[in-house]
Amino acid sequence: MDEQTIVKEVSTPLFQGKLWLKLLGILSIVLYLPFYVSFSSQLGGVLPNLVYPTRGAHLWVMFATLLLPLYAYLLYLWRAGKIPAKWGRATALLLGLVFLLWGISWLLGVGVGFFAPDLKAIFLQQQGLPDLGTVFMKAGEKRLAHIGGLLTLLAMLVPALALLIADHRSPKGTLQQTTEGKPSSIVGRPSSFVLLLITLGALLVLGPEFLYLRDQFGTRINTVFKFYYQAWMLWSLAAAFGIAVLARKLRRGWNLAFWVGLVLVLVVGLTYPVFGISNRTNDFQIGRAFLLMGTVITGEDEGTRLAARQELDSLWTLDYFETFQRHNPDEAAAIGWLSNAPDGVVAEAIGGSYSGYARVSTLTGQPTLLGWPGHESQWRGGYEEQGSRQADLETLYATADWTLAESIITRYNIRYIFVGNLERGEPLQEEKFQNHLRVAFQQGNVTIYEVP
Q: Is 217 in the same domain as 72?
A: yes
For 258-312, the DSSP string reads HHHHHHHHHHHHTHHHHHHHHHHTTGGGHHHHHHHHHHHHH-SSHHHHHHHHHHH
Residue 81: predicted pLDDT = 65
Last residue of a domain, one of 205, 222, 251: 251
How far apart CA 171 and CA 51 sit, in angstroms, is 49
Q: Is 125 in the same domain as 241?
A: yes
Whether 64 is in a domain gets the answer yes
- Indicate the Cα dihedral angle 252, 253, 254, 259, nearest 10°: 90
Q: Is 199 in the same domain as 337?
A: no
Which tens digit of pLDDT belongs to each residue from 56-74? 999 998 999 999 999 999 9
How far apart CA 7 and CA 376 sit, in angstroms, is 56
How far apart CA 184 and CA 5 sit, in angstroms, is 10
Geometric angle at alpha carbon 204, from 97 and 382, rounded to 5°:
115
| Residue range(s) defining the domain that contains residue 384 | 328-450
Q: Is 348 in the same domain as 436?
A: yes
Residue closest to 314 by CA, chosen among 299, 298, 296, 326 = 326
Whether 280 is in a domain gets the answer no
Last residue of a domain, one of 217, 251, 285: 251
Q: Is 333 in the same domain as 247?
A: no
Which tens digit of pLDDT belongs to each residue from 203-262? 999 999 999 888 877 788 889 999 999 999 999 999 999 999 998 888 888 888 888 988
For 144-197, the DSSP string reads HHTTHHHHHHHHHHHHHHHHHTS--BPPTT--EE-TTS-EESB---HHHHHHHH
Q: Is 224 in the same domain as 360?
A: no
Q: Is 49 in the same domain as 175?
A: yes
Split into its structural domains, the chain has a count of: 2
DSSP 217: T
Query: What residues does 447 pair with on adjacent strands?
Result: 419, 442
Q: Is 107 in the same domain as 230?
A: yes
Residue 67: predicted pLDDT = 94
pLDDT at 383 over 70: yes
Element (H, E) at 342: none
Residues 6+ apart with CB under 8 A from 153: 59, 202, 205, 206, 209
Whether 319 is in a domain gets the answer no
Which tens digit of pLDDT belongs to each residue from 170-216? 444 333 444 444 444 333 466 889 999 999 999 999 999 999 888 87
Q: How many Cβ atoms from other residues are within 10 Å of residue 100's Cβ?
A: 11
Whether 261 is in a domain gets the answer no
How far apart CA 61 and CA 63 sit, in angstroms, is 6
Q: Is 132 in the same domain as 230?
A: yes
Q: Is 115 in the same domain as 239?
A: yes
How far apart CA 270 and CA 280 sit, in angstroms, is 16
Whether 302 is in a domain gets the answer no
Q: Is 344 in the same domain as 430?
A: yes
Q: Is 238 in the same domain as 380?
A: no
Last residue of a domain, one of 194, 216, 251: 251
